[in-house]
Homo-oligomer: A and B are copies of this chain.
Amino acid sequence: MYQIVSATVGDVGLSAMRESTPPKKKRVDRHGRRLMVATLLGVVLVTAAVAAWSYYSTSLRKADLLKTELLDLNKDGFVIHNQAGAVIFQMTFRSDSLDLDSCLKEGRVLTCSRSSAGSLNFFIETVKPKDTVMCYRVRWEELETSRAVEHAMAYHGSHWYGGGETRSQHWPIVFHGSQEPEPFITGDVGSKQRVFGNILERYWLSSNATAIKINDSVPFHLGWDENSKMMRFQARYENSPYKADRGRPVRAELSYRVCVGHDVGSIHKYMVRRYFNKPSKVPSEAAFRQPIWSTWAFFKTAVNQDKLLTYASEIQTHGFNWSHLDLDDQYTSGYGEFDFDPVKFPNASHMFKKLGDDGFKFTLWTHPFVNYNSTNFGTGVERGLFVREPSGELPALIRWWNGIGSILDFTNPETRDWYALHLRNLKNEYGIASFKFDAGETSYLPQQFSTFVPLQDPSMFTRRYTEMAIPFNDRAELRAGYQSQNISCFFRITDRNSLWGYDLGLKSIIPTVLTVSILGYQFVLPDVIGGNAYPDYTDGEKGFPDRELYIRWLELSAFMPVMQFSIPPWVYNNEVVEIARKFTALHETLVAPRVLKLAGEVLNTGDPIIRPLWWIATDDEAAYKIDSQFLIGDELMVAPVLEPGKQERDIYLPAGKWRSYKSEHFDKGPMHLTDYPVDLDEIAYFVRSA
């Protein structure tokens, strides 16, 4: 069209010029006038045509430019399609919109240099690391403001997993109400309502085979809104514990990568292999086979030498075996001390010798706190071992569940040496096997603080603390983690309450274990059987968990990587003791060998031991929503009873051939088994045949 119009213009022009040397004036005059009119008309037409074409072609270029692989960018956000053209990911720019005229595309990189607010450094880089995976690296850095940058991810239309532990844990994630963006840093969900998890990673995975990983350098805040069904990803420094790197301008930068794969399993495997640390060794085989027995829930802080001796003796007399015993809170006189309280443990050396001769091993409870009234507080103050107030001059006081004190600054090499020395001394003097490292979350740091080595991301404090467990990692237990997947220790999900429900109760265990597994923590402790029997959070009488709850909890625990007892079965009756013996035996014979084999694979793959049903059923919508069943590896599927008073439950069997623990065969799956009978002393499990 353009060329045709252009040729006409040329003709008109040329003929006009040719005829401008006329033979007769009058004819020329009349003819000339007509030509002039025609010429003018032509020019107008041409101009219009050129303008239209330019606009059209610019639009074409722009439209082309704003596509990169399966991602479409517009001024207010971007969407990613799958091969079939359906939208599988949607991100909205909330803090500002792009000036699309400032965008350029060069190869795999699409950049924009202006937002509606000013200069900006924006890019989306496309990376195709393998045939089945496409990743989009996104970075938004405002150059002229120190404002927050916020992108909001639509979470509707698919199921999401990951992030971290929460107080009310669901699988997939459930977003309640709306939440302004808060620092996404480790926090003790067991003691505080509105914090993110004890174990936490900046990673989410969706059922439509997309995953998002927020970059480590981002001062990352998370919020959500139930109405708009958006997760709000915000980068900011204002009113935030994140600190900009010294010497760098305080400009919030939001950067992340979104990867898309063929299915949820393969994209997760790609992300784990690419972005997560992996452990280098499998911790104690014994702990995977035999239960750990903790003094905590049973004795609380009233533990003493006699009680511990009796406990050990009763474990033996009731015919149980053990990996080790955990001597928990208050074996010292003060918090922050490392000597046995001489009143409660008049002869600790002799006690450990005697118990050691009987085949018992021990872990000791430890924590990062030194209370102001402990003998080591002065040492910490004078030697600068503590986290300090913001000016860095003086220690800051903090409150934790056992009082007021300071928190050891594990960014300080002198603190690390001092702490490690004390732990080594305990280990050597009493033959202690290892330690239970309690706490470590940033929610126990002062509201404002400074550390020996400045922390841009406060959660790095958690990482530093978890590193203290490395020398003791055969049986060490941690309950907080951030980028800590390579600490080859057991990670315990945070303290459970002795309740049936999702609020840290029995129902929360599977969602929580699945979540931390998705975050790369595979040597998971599901916390003590029956929960911690905290007075205000216990379904049951006499301070003990409800008997039925205890039994159901025991059954579930038997199918977890490690069993942990504290309230012993013999506080109920002999029937409970027998059920417990049955399930510790089942754990050792059926579960442990599978878990140990999978644990070995973790070192190479980072893949979960405890897996969600969709792991083997990625095309199965039903599988994405099930939070009361799980897989051990790909073959053993477990469906515990988690409701009080029930001796049956509905069970979903994914496609495949399954043999039940009652030796029934099912091969017409996927299928629902409704009201499948499960006696009180039973747990439903199914083994898949190849």
Contacts and interface: CB of A to CB of B under 8 A. Distances in A.
A583 to B, nearest CB: 44
A244 to B, nearest CB: 17
Given A373-B378, A389-B396, 9 more contacts: A372-B372, A389-B389, A389-B447, A389-B448, A394-B396, A395-B397, A395-B404, A396-B396, A396-B397
A446 B389 CA distance: 9
A398 interface: yes
A389 to B, nearest CB: 7
Contacts of A404: 381, 394-395
A541 interface: no
A535 interface: no
A408 to B, nearest CB: 16
A377 interface: yes
Interface string A372-400: 11000110010000000111011111110
Contacts of A389: 389, 396-397, 446-448
A188 to B, nearest CB: 16
Nearest to A393: B399
Interface in A438-468: 446-448
Q: A interface, by DSSP: helix, strand, loop or mixed? A: loop
A372 B379 CA distance: 11
Q: Quickly give the copy total for this chain.
A: 2
A183 to B, nearest CB: 15
Contacts of A372: 372, 377-378, 381
A398 B391 CA distance: 11
Nearest to A395: B397
Contacts of A397: 381, 389, 394-397
A391 B396 CA distance: 12
Interface of A: 372-373, 377-378, 381, 389-391, 393-399, 404, 446-448
Given A372-B377, A372-B381, A378-B372, A447 B391 contact: yes
A396 to B, nearest CB: 7
A293 to B, nearest CB: 35
A254 B391 CA distance: 29
A373 B374 CA distance: 10
A381 B399 CA distance: 11
B394 A399 contact: yes
A680 to B, nearest CB: 47
A162 to B, nearest CB: 31
Contacts of A446: 389, 394
Nearest to A382: B404
A448 B393 CA distance: 12
Nearest to A378: B373
A398 B390 contact: no
- What are the 5 A-B residue pairs with the smallest beta carbon separation, nearest first? A394-B397, A391-B447, A373-B378, A381-B404, A395-B397
A389 B399 CA distance: 12
A447 B395 CA distance: 13
A389 B398 CA distance: 10
A451 to B, nearest CB: 16
Contacts of A394: 396-399, 404, 446
Nearest to A396: B389
A377 B395 CA distance: 15
A372 B398 CA distance: 14
